[in-house]
Every structure is written in C-alpha cells, then in structure tokens.
A and B are shown apart, each in its own frame.
Chain A
Amino acid sequence: MARIFAYIVHKGGVVDDSAFELAAAARKIDAAASPTAILTGWGADLDAACKTLGASYPEIWKIANEALTYPNAELVRKALVKVLPSGGIVLVPHEHFGIDLAPGLSIKMNSAFVSDVLDIVGVEGANLKVVRQEFGGQVSAHVRCDISSGAVVTIRPGAFKAVEITPGGGLVVDKSPDVGTLAAGRRYLETVVAEAGDVDITKYNVLVSIGRGIQEKDNVAIAQELADALGAAVSCSRPVVDAKWMEKSRQVGSSGKTVKPKVYLACGISGSFQHLAGIRGSPFLIAINKNPKAPIFQVADVGIVDDILEFLPELTNKVREMRSVA
C-alpha cells in the first residue's frame, strides 16, 4: 500500500480543521494507514502547528524555510517535490490553497490527480475508487484513479468527519535541509482584507441565509424582516453577492466567511459545497427550498419544500406574534 501524506494548512500557529478530516480520508483509503503530516512554514508558528498535531499523526514532516513564511503555492510545490517520495498518495484540502497547489504538484510528481473528493470507496487493485459530484452537486459520480505511480487527491472540506490517528506519536522530522533555496515566478505581495461591512455574520447564533431563490434585490427585505424578528443576521451564498444584492461581507462559503452559528436557515439555497464549506460546527440546519431535489436537503436537519417568498413572511409574522405575547 502506498504511503499516504496529508498536507496540513495552518495559520498563526493554529491548524485548520481539514488536518483531521484528511486523517479520516487517509483511514478510509487504508484502514491501517499511518499517514504522515507535512507542514511548510517558518518560525514559531510552524513549530506550534507541528506540536498541535502531536496527538493526531504518528509522523510529522516539517519544512521550515523563510521563503515559506507565507504559503505561496508555487514555492510550496517546489519544496514538496524535493521532499516527497514518489508513488505516494498526497492528500490536500480542496480550498483556495489546495486548488492552487495540487494540480501542478501531481504533474511534478508524475502522479495521477483527482480533486474535490467527497467520499472514498476504497482501493481496488491498482485503482482508488472515490465519489465526486458534478453539475454543481446535482449528480454524484464514482471515479476510478490509477494510483500505481502515486496520486494527489484533494479532499472536500467538511466531507469527512475529523479523526485522530491513534496511536499518535507526533514524531517531528525536519526535512528543511532537503529543500535548499526556493524561488519561483510568483511572489506574494500582501493580503488585502475585505472591507468590514456593518454586520459581522460570524458573531451571530442564528443566521437567515439566502440564495438565488430570493430572486431579486427587493426581496432581501423579506429575509431582513425575519432576521430582525429573530435577532439574527442575514447572510447569503455567492450568487447573491455576484448579483450585487448583498455585500461580500455577508457571504458564507469557501470564498466568503466561515460561520459557526447554532441555527442556520438556508432559504432558497441549493446547497453547493462551496457554500456549505463555510458552515462549520454542525449547526441545526433548516432548509427551505422550492425544489425538492435541491442538494441542501441531503445535508439539512430539517427540510421544507415551499416558496421562501411566501414562507418567510408568514414565519416572520408568527415570530412577531410569539414575541408580542411573550
């Protein structure tokens, strides 16, 4: 069985949740797997991140290089190519860094590539069988990947339940000397922080979240009224921002904010993974959508097939009634 590596995303000494999800994926590829965590970075933050993984991974490869202080995928790839043995399976989270790193890595490692994996069926001979989605999540597909010369696999964040690999151990192996100097045709300049909107949706316990089903800008008021009645905030999915019906600061998703509310009302949201990726902490998810086949109903706790433009105002009225009586 090929060796499995998990690329760990970390920031400010804190390890991303995906680290433990990758461990779960590794276990699904090979139940007896002993995956190696691999981290790049520099200084105290890198060391702290490595330490956090102590209980979860038996072996941790550390690549410390000043050029990698900021994770520039072009440089990280060059470093990994120098360090990773051929033929292994490299797991990477499917988010903005993984998308940047993984395809090129597979070419340089001369291994196969399969992205955005939701589930792993198992190894059949020289092939790894996985589950992916297509057409914005409307259909699923089984995909076979020839791993005989290794593979780079990106894993959908949140698709696998986080696990710790027992026994842990956390043996840190410093692979930095193998890397040497790093240079690439792309240089990181700075990060421009998105303008803070008036409302910070990450601070709310209840979110009324709207998607394309709200149909037009004027209808956003319908969601706002419900949010006001509940003491919640209105958040949204990407199409609503693209259509300029709400500010970017309200977007929940992989390219928006990550939220951890207690209750999440998904109104007229189809449930694309990029959106769901922004919902962490397993809130109670209520989905209201006209389309009974919307993917959101697969991940929601409670679902209602109804027209949000009619359902929400009535819900708002009921909330107000309750509040006035209370």
Chain B
Amino acid sequence: MKLELRNSVEVNVEILVCVRRVPDTSENEIELNSAGNDIERDELVYSINEADNYAVEEALQIVARVGGNVTVATVGGEDDEEVLRREMAMGANHGVMISDEAFSGSDGKGIATILKAFVQKGHYDLILTGVQAEDGGAQVGGMLAALLDYPFASLVNSIEVLEGKKLKVSREIAGGNKEMNEIDLPCVLSIQTGINEPRYVGMRGIRQVAAIPIPTFSASDLGLGANAVGETAAKVKRVDYFTPSLGKGAEILRGSREENIDKVLELVAAKGGLK
C-alpha cells in the first residue's frame, strides 16, 4: 500500500508486535462441551486476535512513514505459526516463535516474563500488543512494560513519531474523548481496535512467505527457569467454564409478534417512556 508520509522524520523504528492465535470471534459458536468443564473446541476455527492485527497494521504504517522493521512474535506452539505467517504476509519483516513445554499453563505474568526475556535478547524501540484477547485479560502489555521498566500506554488509537525518540499517542477514554500523551522510546503500547483499516491478506500472500524460516526461542535460549514461568509459577488459574443460570434475567415475552408489541408499548408507557 502506498501511504503518504505524515511526518517527514526518518527515524527507523524497530517494532515488536506480540500476537496471539485465538478462536475467531465471529466464525465460531462458543458452547460448553458435554462434560461441562471447558468450551467445545473440536470445530473451532482460529485466527489472529483482532486487536493484535490492528497493532501489526499500525506497526507497518509507522515503518512505512519513518523507516524501520516489524517483528511479530508469539508464545505458543506449532499451531500458532500460522498467525505469524499471516502477519508476515501482511508485511512484517520477521516472525519469531517462542515455544517450550515449560511455558504451558503460564498466566499473564508468566507470558509477560517470557516476552520480557525475549525483548532483552534484541533491541526494540517500540513494543505493541492488542489491548486484549478473547479472555479479556488486558494485562500482558502493561505487565511487560513494568517488567522492562518501559513507559506504557493502553487503549492507544493514534501514534505519531516525533523527533528525539518520542511518540505522541492518544488514548481512548470515556465519551469518545482522546487523552493525548507524549511517551519516551523505548515503550510498550496496547492498541485498541479501530485505530486503522488493516490491509487484506489472502492465501496467496501466505503462500509467498511459506518458505521464510521462523526461528524458535526455547526457555533455555531465553535463560528462563521453570520457577518463573509455566503452570507451577502461575498464580492465576481458570477452574472451569460455565454458563450462568438464567435465574435472574429478562422476562422473555412468548406471544405473537403483535402481542409482544402491545406488551412492549404498555411497559414503555408505564415507565414514562411515552410522552
């Protein structure tokens, strides 16, 4: 995509985007499994976490304006490689897999610890994550920043590169207002959906990057002991999934459409809704 230069600063920013493969939000029906302790995972289709995709697009647009490279990384396994490839097809220069059996069962802090070790192996000016994933945790970005002692901003919906290793970012706050901040590099930002319009990536694009090697970093590569990550180190664990009983909930109107309409108008009038 040809983008117009918004600012003429030629800075070269090394950007790392931490991404995650999640069950797709709109192409799945999330239901409990028959045992009732987990969701039904058999026929799920997966894709990159929506907010992470916006983050990668934002990173690509930044380097198109001011120069630099985009690396996408994920903590996961073989199955997760497909999202790395997809983002590389989108334009990311490098893909990195961070994988080790010792990592499984990590909680948010565990993931952030793993990412921190990876970040310190390289040199990144800017680290982006999506604001949250399907579990709604919204934590890894903030934790990573604190572990690295980098400044942090969440819910970012615009980024401008300034001279002198600084960014001007806006955060989405109540009422649709924007909180403008100046933040020093290196920093961590969590990106809100809607910040841009991500470009399309199809099967052809992925095929074109299919042969590019994706290096894997293990626990020992990152110097991580088992006590810092994984299930044993995790302080937060999900016990089960359940659907709450609909005890207190809406009174579902079960009449014909006409009857329902009449009832609705009756109630609206009673509550002072009809002048």
Contact = CB atoms under 8 A, between A and B. Distances in A.
B118 interface: no
Interface in B239-275: 239-244, 246, 248-253, 257-258, 260-265, 267-268, 271-275
Interface string B124-159: 000000010011111111110111001111110000
A133 B183 contact: no
Interface string B160-178: 0000000010111111111
A65 interface: no
B238 interface: yes
Interface residues of B, number: 80
Contact of B273 (A103, A193, A206, A299): A206
A286 B239 contact: no
Counting contact residues on chain A (CB < 8 A from B), the size range is 35 or more
Contacts of B174: 95-96, 254-258
B135 A134 contact: yes
Nearest to B137: A115
Contacts of A105: 146
A286 B134 contact: no
B264 A191 contact: no
Interface string A95-107: 1110111111111
A319 interface: yes
B45 interface: no
B175 A139 contact: no
Given A142-B240, A187-B182, A284 B135 contact: no
A181 B194 CA distance: 37
B184 A113 contact: no
Interface stretch (A19-27, A54-62, A300-308): A300-308
B253 A139 contact: no
A116 interface: yes
Interface of chain A, main secondary structure? mixed
Interface of chain B, main secondary structure? mixed
Contacts of B12: none
A103 B141 contact: yes
Contact of A256 (B25, B32, B176, B187): B176
Nearest to B23: A135
B124 to A, nearest CB: 15
Contacts of B240: 141-142
Given A242-B193, A255-B174, A263-B272, A113 B261 contact: no
B235 A146 contact: yes
Contact of A189 (B138, B181, B238, B241): B181
Contacts of B137: 115-116
Given A106-B143, A141-B241, A135 B134 contact: yes
A263 B267 CA distance: 9
A108 interface: yes
Q: Can you list the 7 inter-chain pairs with the closest CB atoms, starting with the nearest?
A: A103-B142, A185-B151, A303-B250, A104-B146, A194-B176, A107-B146, A263-B273
